[in-house]
Structure formats: structure tokens, C-alpha cells
Amino acid sequence: MPDHSGRYVVMGVAGSGKSTIAAALARDLDVSFVEGDEFHPAENVRKMAAGIALTDQDRAPWLAALASRLREARSANQGLVMTCSALKRAYRDILRGGAPDTQFVFLDGPKALIAERLASRTGHYMPSSLLDSQFAALEKPTPDEHAWLCDISDAPDDVVADLVARVKS
């Protein structure tokens, strides 16, 4: 039986489908799912809900908490799928500090499609007005990071099936 004890961070801008894809991937791999947004300090949530973009300083404790959770999973040899925007390489490096073998999954797609998704999303504190700041901060993973690229124009089920196939190969 294949080993599904890897750690995966599903990353991308708000509205790219991180939670949908990550939850389905975790279910299909039968590993734990961690919603990275739940690790944000209350002040970060308040700022984002008010339409204020977070600074690197705001993100530091959040990223440290996520890296710690990755470290725990790696130490226990447990599989884990986590969501985190991980917009900058420096952020991904912090997460890799928790588990160097973390596989990043970059959900990429056209800004217009993401804006459309955000406009129809309900019950989330991240307003669509922050999409521009997300794209401005985004540093797409470089080839040396070996991130898996997924086109969010594809159906979520197809994206997850592709990811499961990559994990199993």
C-alpha cells in the first residue's frame, strides 16, 4: 500500500479553491486536513474583515503556528494536507522550516475567474477587495521549489484526481 504520510500545503490567492481542493485531497488520501486560516490570530481576522491587507509582521505568528503543525505531523510520520496562501517564497521557507519535505501545491488561475469566485463566496471574512493585494504579494513558486502547479480552470474533482495520482506515483 502506498505511503500517504507526506505533508502537503495547498497554496494560492484567496478564492483559488484552497479549502475545497485540500479538504478533498485529505479525504482521498485519508490524512488529516488543516484549514490554515483557523490559525490566524484574532487581530489578523479583524484586519482582513475590515479590508486591511496583512503585513509580513502580521503574518509571522500565523506562519510560525503552521510550521509548528507541519513539524508535529512530520515528527509523528503523519500525513497532512494544509491550506495556506503561502504567497511569498519567504513564507514557504518558514513552512519548510517545520517540515523540509513539504510538497507545495500551487492553485493558479486567471484573476477574473478568482474575482468571480470571491464575489459569489459567502461566510468568509476575506473580502474580494483584498484580491489585488494578494496578487501584488504573490511570488509564484520557482522551478527549484518543485511545487505542483494546478490550473483552477479545471474542475475541482479533476484537480484532486491529478493530485492523488501524483502522490501515488
Model pLDDT for residues 124-151, shown as the tens digit of each residue: 545 556 788 889 889 999 999 999 999 9
- For residue 81, being part of any structural domain is answered with yes
Q: What is the pLDDT of residue 3?
A: 55
Q: What is the pLDDT of residue 129?
A: 63
Q: For the chain, which ranges sit under pLDDT 50?
A: 1-2, 125
Q: What is the pLDDT of residue 123?
A: 56
DSSP 18-80: HHHHHHHHHHHHT-EEE-GGGGS-HHHHHHHHTTPPPPHHHHHHHHHHHHHHHHHHHHTT--E
Q: What is the pLDDT of residue 142?
A: 97
- For residue 160, being part of any structural domain is answered with yes
Question: What is the CATH classification number for the domain harbouring 129?
Answer: 3.40.50.300
Q: How many domains does the chain have?
A: 1
Q: What is the pLDDT of residue 127?
A: 53
Q: What are phi and psi of 76, to 5 degrees?
A: -90, 0
Q: How many CB atoms lie within 10 A of CB 144?
A: 7
